[in-house]
Structure formats: structure tokens, C-alpha cells
A and B are shown apart, each in its own frame.
Chain A
Amino acid sequence: MNNLIVYCEIEDGIIADVSLELLTKGRSLANQLNCKLEALVIGSNLDGVEKQVFPYGVDTVYTVDDPRLYPYTSIPHTSVLVHLFKEQKPQVCLMGATSIGRDLGPRVSSSLHSGLTADCTALEIGPHEDKKNNKTYENLLYQIRPAFGGNIVATIVNPECRPQMATVREGVMKKEIYDPNYKGEVVKLDPKKYVADTDFVVEVIDRQMEKSKANIKGASIIVAGGYGMGSKENFDMLFDLAATLGAEVGASRAAVDAGFVEHDRQIGQTGVTVRPKLYIACGISGQIQHIAGMQDSSIIISINSDPNAPINSIADYVITGTVEDVVPKLIKYYKKNSK
């Protein structure tokens, strides 16, 4: 009762990274709240799926296994969550701010009349004082999120309604094994009790999913290009630099929109969030939406022809110059100086 539950997305039998990241976060929140961490997996052929989540410190995994539950559609998954939450009364529910989580979360929150906070970048536990009604609350979930196009950060609480629901984008939280030998309990729920035949109204007739090609999220060095790269051809320079340094290539949205590079390399509020050891920003001005996705990088180098580019204010090294000039020199001197 009153546990913390994470809705786990599954694609081709594999639990999504964003869900594992949330289990890691959920484990530490559950420790603070002194409650259990639960996972919910809905899909088809789920035997053994618990092995993927137990190492993250899951105490109970609920599975609902039915061929009709994969691929995801809104209403059947909503029905499972609504029924289960009415029974189990979790205090917190977390899900990925993905095209699934952002489709499912609001529908569930509407049905249960429980608040939902979108795209949180931090989750904390703390008290809340409602001055107007002279009430205090202990151990609420602080749901911290950017809004207003990234220009403000708001802390949102749900004092009265349960569960407190929040979505979080992929890459925002860190994924970390809690204990490789952790063992929880598996509870198989009977689909018939949680989903009605009439819930299956939307039919998926075609699906073409690609595995994410670039792995910028896991890269320890990122070479990112912006609109200032000027062309797709100039981006080749960045791929050269990346190959030299063992890095991945990232990009700003302006560079993606201009067609210099594929969308899955976009870094920022509407792309992925990264925190590499080294981030080299090439011809990126540093608008807030971009910064939001890379400001936690350990070391930031900015290469920009404009000495006053906003990104320079968060950079450890500012190189004032053109990318055409500087990038080849980086390659040259790295080759010369690395043994």
C-alpha cells in the first residue's frame, strides 16, 4: 500500500532505458519515503521480464500479459493503471515522458483526478505548507520542471490527490544497478480483470520503429554542431573530430532543422539530455533550450566566432574563432600529441 510505482515501457521484449532510469530514481525516493518500489509491465510474452528490473531494486513487479496489449494503445493500458491504482493506492507513479508516457499519463490522471506534472528534470521529497488553508504536508513529491519554453523552472506539488504522477524524459535521470542480486516478488495480474474487450478500439495497422542509431546519451565525449556549422558538408568535419577523439556527434535543433544532421542527435529540451565528461560546442549560440540538455557536462568548450555567444558564459574554455579554422586544428594537434 502507498508504494512508489514505475510504469515500465517495453519494446521487443526489452524494458526501455527511460524506465530503468526511473526505477533508479524511484528506488532512492522509495528509500526516503520508506516504502516499496514497484514496477508495472504491460505487454505480451512477459515471462522472465522481472530479471530485467530486479537489479534496480524493485520489490514487486506486476505484469499483465496479453497479446492484445502489445503494441501499446491508450485505452487498454489506461484501464490497467486505473484499476490497479484503485486497488493498490500508490502514493507516487512515475513514467517516461515519451510518446507512450505522454499519451498514457494524462489519460490515467484524468480518470483518477490526480495531478500530473510533465517533463520533470528533478524529483525530490519535502514538506509543503498551504498557508491559505493552514495545512502542512510531509513527504510530498517535489516535481521540478522547466516551462515557458525553458525560461522558468517550476516546483509543482500535488498536496491532496493520489497518486502524485510525474513524467520524466529519457536521459534526465541516471540509470544505475542497485543490487545485481536483488530479488522481489512477481505478481501476475489477470488481464481479464483489468481490461475490457471494448477497450480495444484503436487498431495499429502499421508500425515502423527504428532502433536509435546514435548513442549520444552514453557518450563520454560529445562534439556538437550548431547552425554556425553552415552546412551538411561542414558537419563531416565534426564526424572526423569525433572519430579522432572517440566521441559522438550531437547537434542543436537549428542544425537538425536545417538538415545538417539527423534528428536523433539533437541535444536539448526537446532532444536528449546529456552529461558527458567533455562537450565541445561548435557554432552553437547556447539558447536556453539547448543549454537545458547539456549544462551538466563536466567540461565545456565553446568554439564560436562571436565572443559574446551566450554559451560562452557556461563554458570552461572559450575559443573565439570560426569552426572552419579551429576544428581541423583540434584534429591535427590531437593526432600530433596523443601517442
Chain B
Amino acid sequence: MSLKIVVLAKQVPDTRNVGKDAMKEDGTINRAALPAIFNPEDLNALEQALQLKEQNPGSTITLLTMGPPRAAEIIREGLFRGADGGIVLTDRAFAGADTLATSYALSCAVRKIKDYDIILGGRQAIDGDTAQVGPQVAEKLGIPQVTYAEQILKIENGKATVKRRLERGVETVVVPLPAVITVNGSADECRPRNAKLVQRYKYAKTPSEKQGLSEECLKLYEQRPALNLYEWSVNDVDADLSQVGLAGSPTKVKAVQNVVFQAKESKQLTAADNEIEDLVKELIANHTIG
């Protein structure tokens, strides 16, 4: 059975490698200094999608991302690895969204895509770190969810059998489709870019990226539909303005504090025998150990 697969993917700042230059003088985060990457667990989700596509010939994978126009970069990244197309959900009105407003916008876009069997996403994004968007999209679409998925074992009779990795063990569940499945980092790593696909898709562009191109160039895009990436606005997905962006977000960030260590007075020791022995004696004497 061929499947229509949607992969939710987020472009995120690489918070795993926050160097010194990532902090501004005033102590706030300098987002510009952090490379924007494909959210790691969304790549695990993409890999599950690619495996499903291999097992179910005729399946298609559409990437859906909400973000600024430059988020088109991750759509191309997905195409280079085997996805079939993608949509950037972008509009000033989406800015400042919390997870609820994000999932509302994504669910409107999925409704517009209309035909879908499985929606895959990462368990969690590495900037917001909430793991809330997947289940919220499922609820908004009125379909079941499977979170913490490690492997989609099989799809049969309109149902998916999924192995979940939980903090204390593993669980196997059967879920009727369509469903939202969010994938853990412990799942198979995403395959690398495929050189042929890079050649094929490196000029794939969204309408905003095509701005300023010559007439001739634009004609080429008409002849090669696969190179057209889509951009959808609030209106395109019939979203209710009061439910998107900052206005549609029940949670408000009241204050943000950068984490700075408070240096405390520490005793400096070497590995010399007498120093270690004195330390041990001190800890015994003050009842820390023993």
C-alpha cells in the first residue's frame, strides 16, 4: 500500500555547540552565531519515513516546516536525502508562537495537504525542548498519537505497529492510521545526502527565494515542477488569526535569564599523596563521608 507521509521538521539553532561567541556582551544569546540546523530528532523521523517509502513503493514524503523563509534550507536538506517535496509555513503572524499556536498552524497546513496517512515528527526540538508539538497536532487533527517511537515495525491493514522506547523500558503498540508518530533520537540515524539527489534538487526554491531571478530562470521553474517549493501563509491555510503567533499563545515568557555560573571559592589540590590524604581526613572529620 502506498502511503502519503508528512514529516514535521523544524529548523533550530544548534544549541548543542554553544561556544563563547554565542553569548552577547549583554549576556543574551546571539542566535546569529549559532548555525541553523535540521532538528536532530526530525532527521530520525525522516529516516523512518524513508524506510516506509522503501517498503511501500509509490509512497511520497512531504516535509512541512513552520518558520522564517530561510527554513527552506531544511526542506532542501530533506530532498537531498529522499523526500519528495516540501512546504514552508511562513507569515509574520506566526511569529512568537508557543507550542499550542505552533501546533494549530501546523494542523491547519496538514488539513490543507488533506491526503495523509502518517504524520511523523521528532520527539523534541533542541531549542524549545518541550516535546509538546507532536501530541498537540494529533489532538487538533482528532487522530491518535504514538510518542517516543523508536521503530515503525510494520504497516498492515491500515494499522501501524510501533516500538516505543520509554525511560524504563520498551512497549509495542498498534495504532490505526492516520496517526501522528514522534520519533526518538535512539531510532536509526538518518541516511546521508545522496549525491544524485543533491544534483537534482540543489536549485529547488521557494517563491521568496526566486525573487529577482530572470524571466528565463523563472521559465525553467515552470518546466521543472519538482524544483518548486511551496510557501504558505496564514490565509493559504485558512488559519484563524486569533489562534496563531503571539496572540494565539496562552503561555507568555515573563523573564529570561542566561545561565551564568557563580564562581565559588574552591580549594585547589594536586594529586600528591599528602594532599589527597588530608582531604579524606577533612571529609571524615566533618562527617561528609564515613
Q: Mark B256-290, 1 if CB is under 8 A from A, else 0.
A: 11110111101111110101110111011000111
Check if B252 sits within 8 Å of A110, measured CB to CB.
no
Q: Are B251 and A116 in contact (CB under 8 A)?
A: yes
Minimum CB–CB distance from B108 to chain A (whole Å) comes to: 13
Interface residue SS majority, chain B: mixed
Q: A99 contacts B280, CB within 8 Å?
A: no
Instruction: Enumerate chain A residues within 8 angstroms of B47, measured Cβ to Cβ.
Output: none
Asked whether any CB of chain B lies closer than 8 Å to the CB of A337, the reply is: yes
Are B15 and A330 within 8 A (Cβ)?
no
For chain A, residues 299 to 339, give those with C-beta under 8 angstroms from any C-beta of chain B.
299, 301, 310, 312-322, 325-326, 329-330, 333-334, 336-338
Are B264 and A316 in contact, with the CB atoms below 8 A?
yes
Q: Is the CB of B132 within 8 A of A118?
A: yes
Q: Within the assembled complex, what's the spacing in Å between the Cα atoms of A104 and B167? A: 15
Contacting residues of chain B (36-92) with chain A, CB-CB under 8 angstroms: none
Closest to A303 in B: B271
Name the residue in A109, A157, A208, A338 with the highest tally of chain B Cβ atoms < 10 Å from its Cβ: A109
Indicate whether A47 reaches chain B with its CB closer than 8 angstroms: no
Residues of B in contact with A, size category: 35 or more
Q: Does A46 sit at the interface, judged by CB under 8 A?
A: no
A269 to chain B, nearest CB (A): 8
Binds A, one of B110-118, B170-178, B226-234: B170-178
- Please give, as numbers and ranges, the residues of chain A lying within 8 Å of B268 by CB-CB distance: 318, 320
Find chain A residues with CB under 8 A from B98 CB: 115
With both beta carbons as reference points, the residue of chain B lying nearest to A153 in the complex is identified as: B257
- Pair A113/B250 contact, Cβ less than 8 Å: yes
- When distances are taken between beta carbons in the complex, the residues of chain B under 8 Å from A118 are 128-132
Bound CA–CA A202/B273 (angstroms) = 61
Of B2-10, B135-143, B199-207, B210-218, the one contacting chain A is: B135-143
Interface size class of A (residues with CB under 8 A): 35 or more
A337, B252: Cβ atoms closer than 8 Å: no
Asked whether B168 is an interface residue with its Cβ less than 8 Å from the other chain, the reply is: yes
Residue A138 is within 8 A (CB to CB) of chain B in the complex: no
Give every chain B residue within 8 A of A333 (Cβ-Cβ).
Answer: 273, 276-277, 280-281
Of A36-44, A51-59, A142-150, which stretch is located at the interface?
Answer: A142-150
- What is the CB-to-nearest-CB distance from B188 to chain A, in angstroms, rounded to a whole number? 16
Is the Cβ of B99 less than 8 Å from the Cβ of A106? yes
Rounded to whole angstroms, the CA-CA distance of A109 and B289 in the bound complex is 46
Q: Does A177 contact B (CB under 8 A)?
A: no
A156 sits at the interface (CB 8 A): yes
Q: Is A277 an interface residue, CB under 8 A from the partner?
A: yes
In the complex, A221 Cα to B16 Cα: how many Å?
29
B169: CB under 8 A from chain A? yes
B172 close to A115 (CB less than 8 A): no
B256 to chain A, nearest CB (A): 5
Expressed in whole angstroms, the Cα–Cα distance for A338 and B287 within the complex equals: 11
Q: A74-B145, A320-B268 are in contact. Are A107 and B174 (CB under 8 A)?
A: no
For the complex formed, measure the closest distance between the CB of A109 and the CB atoms of chain B, giving whole angstroms: 7
Complex Cα distance A9/B173, Å? 19
The answer to whether A205 and B161 have CB atoms under 8 Å apart is yes
Whether B175 pairs with A202 at a CB distance below 8 angstroms is: yes
Do B173 and A204 touch (CB < 8 A)?
A: yes
Hey, which chain B residues are within 8 Å of A115, CB to CB? Answer: 98, 100, 249-251
- Bound CA span A291–B262, Å: 12
4 A-B pairs with the lowest CB-CB distances in the bound complex, closest first: A321-B271, A149-B15, A115-B250, A115-B251
Could you list 26 A-B pairs, sorted by A, with CB under 8 Å? A71-B171, A74-B147, A99-B148, A103-B148, A109-B100, A110-B100, A110-B140, A115-B249, A119-B129, A148-B13, A153-B259, A154-B254, A154-B257, A155-B254, A155-B256, A203-B174, A204-B172, A208-B170, A211-B168, A318-B268, A319-B270, A319-B279, A321-B270, A321-B271, A333-B281, A334-B280
